[in-house]
Amino acid sequence: MLAGAGLSLPGKGWAAASPASAAGETEVHGLSVFGDLALPPGFTHLPYVNPTAPKGGTIALQVSGISGNQNFSTFNTLNVFILKGDGAAGMGLIFDTLMSGNSDEPDSLYGLVAHTVRVSADRNTYRFLLRKEARFHDGSPLTARDVAYSLNILKTKGHPSIRQPLRDMDAAEAEAPDVVMVRLNPHHSREAALMIAGQPIFSADYYAKHAFDETTLEPPLGSGPYKVGTFDQGHYISFTRVADYWGRDLPINRGQANFDTVRYEYFGDRKVAFEAFKAGIFTFREEFTSAVWATGYDFPAVKEGRVKRDTLPDESPMGTQGWFLNLRRDKFKDVRIREALGLAFDFEWTNKNIMYGVYSRTVSYFQNSPMEASGTPAPEELALLEPFRSKLPPSVFGAVYVPPVSDGSGQDRKLLRQASDLLTAAGCKRQGTSLMLPDGRPFDIEFLDFEGSLAPHTAPFINNLKLLGIEARYRIVDAAQYKRRTDDFDYDIVTSRFGFGLTPGEGMRAYFGSEAAAMQGSRNVSGIADPVVDALIEKALVVETREQLTFICRAIDRVLRAGHYWVPMWNKPNHLVAYWDIFERPAQHAKYDTGVLSTWWYDPEKAKRINFAGR
């Protein structure tokens, strides 16, 4: 196998875009981790967009997803690419990248700033050929020097979640104004080139005058379809469409970025946010609370048809959500203690009484994907696990762990007895009504959160823990404090949700890798540091076929589930959304994205029809 193998070049008989410039190089219009690119050279637009979608209007929405240094409730910096500060939502809108994705494919990128890529025979060197028309918002040219600067500064000073996937990059250099050479180390992961091609591009000249690694409320210079508009720190931020955006007519962009203004509203409380939506302060909302979805949408605008509700399909794996135990705390070191805590959560009661029965139990770190382990290991999984048998619990080689189904009473005595027996076996002892840890200290647990939407779900869980003698509490802190504490791993249990899509790779290092466990601000919230998991992840990062990756991920799933690092929550296979009836959308939806922000557009006639004045 070639070092770095696993990156596939276009197939289906398509020729390279143009003759390669050096012996052994292949020039391609896109990069893919596995298999063929779905779109040929010369494609005119993505299949799920309306290429003639009109531009105009505003979409206002609540923050529903975060990355890097962002949080859901506030912001105090426009620099989202470092660890410091609480980053504003939407900042990715102002920056271009070398390549951009197709939401009908799980692991492919096509040219944006780079029109083509020349790949060396050993797939260790990538030359990105840039479009000469690329420009920053101030009119200055975007060149290979800017790309090289961006990649190098992100690798050295970027947020830990960025630095880690860039670790396989040995060099990024400008060979010409329109050619940037990226050299990977010989043992790089199969998706290293795609991770690099998806990084934001900064202006080297701008950052020669501004510190990259400091928080700031000065809007940075970008090159993307939007620029920062008005904002009020911690309350809202808006982005204004760049009318003369240099890349607006590129095939990868056509029919996208249709709103003149994109605005994110911040709320510290979901109930307050819902009232703001009812009042039209923001116009699109994804609903994450089943009780609100079932009972809350009876306000006049819904009854009058001015607010629509919809269920948007999503063919992506569900992702995983749960209460994650911080193994950096001695109280969680024993796997029997961790398993016991999981038995105290009654999902069946919670789903019926709090969530209207609309959810299914999450059991896997690769929920509802081919990578989810089930039953006993297949021969291919056993072949991967067998070399580590002496380092793994015997349960890994049997039926994969699945949380037991309770009797739905809320206090299943059988499961609580099992939990009590596990705690006793781990050395815990009852002292009156309290449970003492093996070292003699009282067993107490704090569930840390920054807002209270999960309080009703956590309360019965806490009650069951108290029946076991554990002093548990649910603590809400402000968003800034929450971020500081989670960056420093100063918590017992936090809630997290994440997913790896259909091609798990570098993300597994970030969430499960030993290196990330010790990296401040990392996504490895449980502090998982298992050499077996590390070894399997390294295998996953270089395999050549999706079938091989599938078996490795199933093996990883078995090891992680046997470790009881979390108490898994719940999932549903769609997006519940509500919106004021002022939008239109393409007839065809993307397989792996709702496309709301990228492909929908504002309809002034609809807005007039429902007499929507907006903000």
Q: Is the pLDDT of residue 19 over 60?
A: no
Q: Is the pLDDT of residue 15 over 70?
A: no
Six token digits for residue 85: 């500060």
Average pLDDT over residues 54-82: 93
pLDDT of residue 315: 79
- Of 181, 206, 224, the one marking the end of a domain is 224
pLDDT band per the 50, 70, 90 thresholds, residue 178: very high
Average pLDDT over residues 8-34: 64
Is residue 581 located within the same domain as residue 562?
no
pLDDT band per the 50, 70, 90 thresholds, residue 65: confident
Q: How many distinct structural domains can be found in the chain?
A: 3
Q: What is the CATH number of the domain that holds 298?
A: 3.40.190.10
pLDDT band per the 50, 70, 90 thresholds, residue 493: very high
Tell me the whole-structure pTM to 2 decimals.
0.86
Is residue 544 located within the same domain as residue 580?
no
pLDDT band per the 50, 70, 90 thresholds, residue 614: low
Is residue 201 located within the same domain as residue 108?
yes
Is residue 186 located within the same domain as residue 274?
no
SS3 annotation, 36-49: CCCCCCCCCCCCCC
- What gap in Å lies between CA 549 and CA 371, rounded to an integer? 8
pLDDT of residue 67: 86
* Percentage of the chain modeled with pLDDT above 70: 96
For residue 436, being part of any structural domain is answered with yes
Is residue 270 located within the same domain as residue 415?
no
- What gap in Å lies between CA 128 and CA 117, rounded to an integer? 5
Please write the tens of the pLDDT for every residue from 212-231.
Answer: 999 999 999 999 999 999 99
Average pLDDT over residues 396-403: 98
Is residue 340 located within the same domain as residue 456?
yes
User: Do residues 479 and 495 lie in contact, with contact meaning Cβ atoms separated by under 8 Å?
Assistant: no
Is residue 255 located within the same domain as residue 375?
no
pLDDT of residue 22: 65
DSSP per residue, 107-165 = SEEEESSEEEEEE-TTS-EEEEEEPTT-B-TTSPBP-HHHHHHHHHHHHHHS-HHHHTT
Q: Is the pLDDT of residue 569 over 90?
A: yes
Is residue 266 located within the same domain as residue 288?
yes
Is residue 478 located within the same domain as residue 415?
yes
pLDDT of residue 244: 97
Q: Is the pLDDT of residue 18 over 90?
A: no
Is residue 475 located within the same domain as residue 337?
yes
Q: Is the pLDDT of residue 416 over 90?
A: yes
Q: Is the pLDDT of residue 43 over 50?
A: yes
Cα-based distances in Å from 233 to 76, 211, 237, 270, 449 = 6, 20, 8, 19, 22
pLDDT of residue 90: 96
Residue 13's domain comprises 1-43+95-224
> Which stretch of DSSP H or E encloses residue 374?
none
The residue that leads in pLDDT, 113 or 501, is 113
Is residue 438 located within the same domain as residue 512?
yes
Q: Is the pLDDT of residue 119 over 80?
A: yes
Q: Is the pLDDT of residue 10 over 50?
A: no
pLDDT of residue 21: 59
Q: Is the pLDDT of residue 491 over 70?
A: yes
Q: Is the pLDDT of residue 559 over 60?
A: yes
Q: Is the pLDDT of residue 48 over 90?
A: yes
Average pLDDT over residues 151-160: 96
- Of 209, 224, 239, the one marking the end of a domain is 224
